[in-house]
Amino acid sequence: MVRNEAGWKVIVVGAGFAGLVAARELAWRGHDVTVVEARDRIGGRAWTDERMGMPLEMGGGWVHWGQPYVWAEMQRYSQDIIESPKPETVYWITGGELKSGTLADLDQLLADPMAAIFQDSATLFPRPHDPFRVLESEESSDELKAAFLAADQGSVLDAVRGGEFSQEQIDLVDAYWSAGYNGFTASASPMMAKWWVALSDNRLSYLDDLTLLYKLKNGMRGVYEGIASQIPGPIRFNTQVSRIDHSSDGVTATLSDGTELTADAIVVTVPITALRQVEFAPALPEPTREVIEQGLNSTGLKIWVKVRGRHSIMAYAPTGNPIAMMKSEYFLDDDSTILVGFAPDASAVDPEDIAAVQEVLRQWVPEIEVLDTTSHDWVADQWSQQTWATWRTGQLTGGWRGFLEPSSRLVFAGADYSTGWNSFVDGAIQSGIVAAHTIDTWSDQG
């Protein structure tokens, strides 16, 4: 496996999926890798923790064989999947009224407005792992390029506001994407929704399967611990990188205690919003700095709620309600159910306040009794300051592109920087592999 005997010195910042994979791949190719991690654990925004008497995913949880990089790692470390239950009843709030139906009823209401949002996704993303193909290809007409740029403007809901759809449909789409963007739909770029569905063969039902149906039997930790076990040398925990000097000859990373680490190259996997805490010299391009300062659209919360009795449900509520989407995940032997929920605004829900969470749930199921709640606030967490990467208007075709082309020995990797399943564990792994390969190629060239 080792083919580069001289080996470069490489610093990897962050021990989430991207950093762990980059470190493993670089070590396998004979490079001398130092991983520095601000937390006291590996996994980053994937974190299988014991809560409510069982392993629960505080961050990323769902996977699918249609996400090739995470699937490959699952096979490598012998990790199996289980299926999330399909709900018997779906509840939704519209115009202050509660409605209910089956999953088929929901699908029917969503089909046409979602088709309006996805209308041009196949044309704009003909090869979704090469997202800017349309902009960069000489074969694209000026109209197509203009349509691509326009797809990054306005809000994801603009396509459904033309008068063609009922308020009920608009409210459902709003709730769906408030959960999907884990943030406010008003500031959510339509481009991300189009990209996600293009990655899903342009089918909404497949997008749902890819992102919400299968989870790991042993949790994400089975995969990230497997990857970490193949990294030689210790990971330096509780170690924050606060400054990176980078050039075409090498890099210096300055830690928060002033220690300087020098290397031939560096892989930075810090989530984009948390990059506010890292100074770059020379500075990153102005539009890229603007994206960092603005932060991503990912301002929400994932919350676990244990309720008395068996409730096989899914529930939606549009902007203005604290929780946009909830669904049943585990039916326990003690006659209780664990639900998972997604809220667009982490500051609008106090996951510790059982009575307040119960009040939110009672909008959908009037008698429901909440026994316990748990969550991790990734927006308040210093080392993420956001949940999964979701995009505000203009960011993808604007400053985000500045992360993608290395101009020195500094390479960004991570779900937030992935050109494939961006935002997902799959994208984190993909970009870690690509970053390692990029640096390995540079080292070959001397």
Ligand X SMILES: Cc1cc2nc3c(=O)[nH]c(=O)nc-3n(C[C@H](O)[C@H](O)[C@H](O)COP(=O)(O)OP(=O)(O)OC[C@H]3O[C@@H](n4cnc5c(N)ncnc54)[C@H](O)[C@@H]3O)c2cc1C
Q: Tell me which residues touch ligand X (CB under 6 A).
A: 13-19, 36-39, 44-46, 59-62, 240-241, 269-271, 274, 277-278, 302, 378, 383-384, 387-388, 414-415, 423-426, 428
Q: How far is the CB of 141 from ligand X (least distance, A)?
A: 34
Q: How far is the CB of 196 from ligand X (least distance, A)?
A: 12
CB under 8 A, 24+ apart: contacts of 247-256: 247/408, 247/409, 248/407, 248/408, 248/409, 249/409, 250/409, 251/11, 251/408, 251/409, 251/410, 253/11, 253/13, 253/36, 255/36
Q: Name which of 42 and 156 has its Cβ closer to ligand X.
A: 42
Q: Name which of 40 and 50 has its Cβ closer to ligand X.
A: 40
Q: Name which of 137 and 256 has its Cβ closer to ligand X.
A: 256
The encoded tokens of residue 198 equal: 């293009």
**Whole-number Å distance between alpha carbons of 226 and 230:** 7
Q: How far is the CB of 48 from ligand X (least distance, A)?
A: 11
Q: Name which of 47 and 316 has its Cβ closer to ligand X.
A: 47
The encoded tokens of residue 84 equal: 């999330």
Q: Is residue 167 exposed (0-12), middle (13-18) or buried (19+ Cβ within 10 Å)?
A: exposed
Q: How far is the CB of 226 from ligand X (least distance, A)?
A: 15
Q: Name which of 8 and 378 has its Cβ closer to ligand X.
A: 378
Are 301 and 343 in contact, with CB atoms under 8 Å apart? yes
Residue 281: count of CB within 10 angstroms of its CB = 11
DSSP annotation of 177 reads: H
Q: CA-CA-CA-CA torsion for 360, 365, 369, 374, nearest 10 degrees?
A: -50
Bridge partner residues of 263 (DSSP): 251
Q: Name which of 158 and 260 has its Cβ closer to ligand X.
A: 260
Q: Could you give the angle at the alpha carbon of 406 between the alpha carbons of 400 and 408, nearest 5°?
A: 135
Q: How far is the CB of 40 from ligand X (least distance, A)?
A: 9
Q: Name which of 59 and 322 has its Cβ closer to ligand X.
A: 59
Are 184 and 320 in contact, with CB atoms under 8 Å apart? no
Q: How far is the CB of 50 from ligand X (least distance, A)?
A: 17
Q: Name which of 299 and 384 has its Cβ closer to ligand X.
A: 384
**Whole-number Å distance between alpha carbons of 418 and 405:** 12
Q: Name which of 41 and 127 has its Cβ closer to ligand X.
A: 41
Are 414 and 14 in contact, with CB atoms under 8 Å apart? yes
Q: How far is the CB of 158 from ligand X (least distance, A)?
A: 26
Q: Phi/psi at 377 (nearest 5 deg)?
A: -85, 95
Q: How far is the CB of 423 from ligand X (least distance, A)?
A: 6
Q: How far is the CB of 391 from ligand X (least distance, A)?
A: 13
Q: Is residue 4 exposed (0-12), middle (13-18) or buried (19+ Cβ within 10 Å)?
A: middle
Q: How far is the CB of 251 from ligand X (least distance, A)?
A: 14
The encoded tokens of residue 36 equal: 């520095």
Q: How far is the CB of 442 from ligand X (least distance, A)?
A: 21
Q: Name which of 65 and 383 has its Cβ closer to ligand X.
A: 383
Are 364 and 333 in contact, with CB atoms under 8 Å apart? no
Looking at residue 172, its amino acid is L
By 3-state DSSP, what share of the chain in percent is helix, strand and coil, each rounded to 5? 35, 25, 40
Q: How far is the CB of 129 from ligand X (least distance, A)?
A: 15
Q: Which residues contact 375 (CB under 8 A, 6 or more apart)?
A: 58, 301, 302, 303, 304, 351
Q: Name which of 43 and 399 has its Cβ closer to ligand X.
A: 43
Instruction: Give the CA distances from residue 174 to residues 169, 250, 289, 318, 344, in Å, rounded to whole numbers and listed in that order.
Output: 8, 47, 29, 5, 11
Q: Name which of 12 and 365 has its Cβ closer to ligand X.
A: 12
